[in-house]
Structure 1
């Protein structure tokens, strides 16, 4: 997810700053632009929140407990659809692979994600 990439690039940027007196000499324009992009489009800003999305406490993660493929997990985590219709439009396979008995299960998953975002 974008938020995970942002955390990784931030850590790398900090490491580069510690190595050199002039941190800009250690980073390329591509690195800078990539960092700016993922920060801008990250739905979750706090590292603990990112961890919660992947590792929801006391049971499997909000997204992976629904047996989502990595691609599906990333799309839903990055775009944070608000309705079942949006989620199915973005990731049609969540409905077609038979992992969800009905739309209520998808609604619950989206609700759990929105709660995490709300309390960030």
Structure 2
């Protein structure tokens, strides 16, 4: 029996992944509610700091658009989040980051288009 069979079950593989930017928005909303109730904890706050630090987009509209752009291509949820989180700069870097054959269905021009769209969103996210 291989390690993956014990570690990753079908529910995990079928589940929806979230990018750091999406998690940051969710946790920030929850944090604001918790502060109103005066009930925050250190683990929650550190988790929020982590996802904010590694989020590529801060604007809720940009976060939504990143998911929209990436989900319009035939890639897995995991690959979508990897690309959304790491924001590769080249086709080669993109292909190296995703699961084997993850971008195989796309030609280099499609991958370049994805990267261009994501970089434009990043420029206007400030």
The alignment's TM-score, normalised by the length of structure 1, stands at 0.83
What does residue 23 of structure 1 align with? Answer: none
The whole-number CA distance in structure 2 between the counterparts of 1:93 and 1:115 is 26
Alpha-carbon contact 2:21-2:58 (below 8 Å) kept: yes
Q: 1:49 aligns with which of 47, 62, 78?
A: 62
Aligned-residue RMSD, C-alpha: 1.2
Q: Secondary structure at the match of 1:116?
A: helix
Q: How many residues align?
A: 106
Q: List structure 1 runs of 4+ shifted beyond 3 angstroms.
A: none
Matches within 5 A, 1:1-120: 1-20=19-38, 26-54=39-67, 61-91=68-98, 92-96=100-104, 99-100=105-106, 102-120=107-125
Deviations 1:56-94 (A, max 9, x none): xxxxx2101112111000000000001000001101433
Structure 1 residue runs of 5 or longer lacking an equivalent are: 21-25, 55-60
The alignment's TM-score, normalised by the length of structure 2, stands at 0.79
Per the TM alignment, residue 6 of structure 1 is displaced from its structure 2 partner at its CA by 0.4
